[in-house]
Amino acid sequence: MKTVAITGASGFVGSNLKNYFSNLGFKVVGIKREELKDSKKLTKIVEESELIINLAGANIINRWTHSYKKLLYSSRIDTTKALIEAMKKADKKPKLFISTSAVGIYKNRSCYDEENFEYSDDFLANLCKDWEKEALKAKELGIRTAIFRFGIVLGNGGALTKMLTPFKLGVGGTIGDGNQYFSFIHIDDLLNAYKFIYENSSLEGIFNLTAPISTTNKGLTKALGKALHRPTIFPVPQFVLNLVFSEGAKVLTDGKCVIPKRLLDSGFIFENSSIKEAIEKSLK
């Protein structure tokens, strides 16, 4: 039986990946925090795994105090460093390493894909750059390496759960003027992308994990209101989010327009291409 090992396996994406790969017939191993700190145990897990998936990282949607920013950084970079060190020591190396990043690496001036882009120069973008740089060291070890830049992952749980409460109460609305882009992907498409990359051995490098039809915060708000049959007339002023999340509010207010060009060019087919499809599927 083939084994896939996952860091961050208890989160929304991680728990869905565990079930998904289990249903495909894999043995799924969740890498625990204490195992990341134990070189011998971690190396043994790596040696026994064909696929390593790196999802570990503190929740990005939070108030970014100085200490929390340090946690955001260490929870991603230190975990990835530990995996790379274990891969170096492993006598038998995994065939594929898939690490995570985010579309927050891009500026918000235009729509970007993996070939045509501008990187931002703020905390989140620099965190993503350092995270990717560390993960790509696996390629130097002869391991096929892919990095998935996530948009907001929608599904029955995760970020959508936090969005739903005000809409159900009839006080949902846009953030600011609602014109900022909103890059998203439905959890089912995200799971299928992992399988797609695993099965297509020629694919490696950077992949945007976003739906092919972009939307805005206004488009998200309209889709949620329609699906829940609730009004969407109460906009959330940006200064309120700044008070709650401080610098972390940028995750919600500084939208990105991102296209999954490499997945589309490789023949990947999205089941939920639009925000309407993604929201309706998530609320079933």
- The yes-or-no verdict on residue 94 having pLDDT over 70 is yes
pLDDT single digits (tens) 237-277: 665 555 555 665 566 667 899 999 999 999 999 999 999 99
3-state secondary structure (DSSP) of residue 40: helix
Asked if residue 236 is part of any domain, the answer here is no
Is 122 buried (19+), middle (13-18) or exposed (0-12) by CB count in 10 A?
middle
Tell me, yes or no, whether 30 lies in a domain: yes
The pLDDT, as a whole number, for residue 175 is 74
Q: Residue 177's pLDDT band (boundaries 50, 70, 90)?
A: confident
What mean pLDDT is predicted for residues 157-174?
A: 73
Residue 125 lies in a domain: yes
Separation of alpha carbons 203 and 209, rounded Å: 14
Is 227 among the domain residues?
A: no
Tokens linked to 154: 């929608």
Tell me which of 233 and 271 has the higher pLDDT: 271
**Residue at 261 is within a domain:** yes
| Rounded mean pLDDT, 89-114 | 96
Q: Is residue 120 part of a domain?
A: yes
The per-residue pLDDT for 278 is 93
Q: Kindly report, residue by residue over 27-77, the tens digit of the pLDDT.
A: 999 999 999 999 999 999 999 999 999 999 998 877 888 899 999 999 999
**Sign, Cα dihedral of 205, 156, 59, 175:** positive
Mode of pairing for the β-strands spanning 215-216 and 181-182: antiparallel
Q: What is the mean pLDDT of residues 137-163?
A: 91
Q: What is the CATH number of the domain that holds 125?
A: 3.40.50.720
Q: How many domains would you assign to the chain?
A: 1
Give a yes or no: residue 84 inside a domain.
Answer: yes
Cα separation of 31 and 96, whole Å? 16
pTM: 0.92
pLDDT, the chain, mean: 90
Report yes or no on 180 lying in a domain.
yes
Q: 142 is in which domain, residue-wise?
A: 3-217+243-282
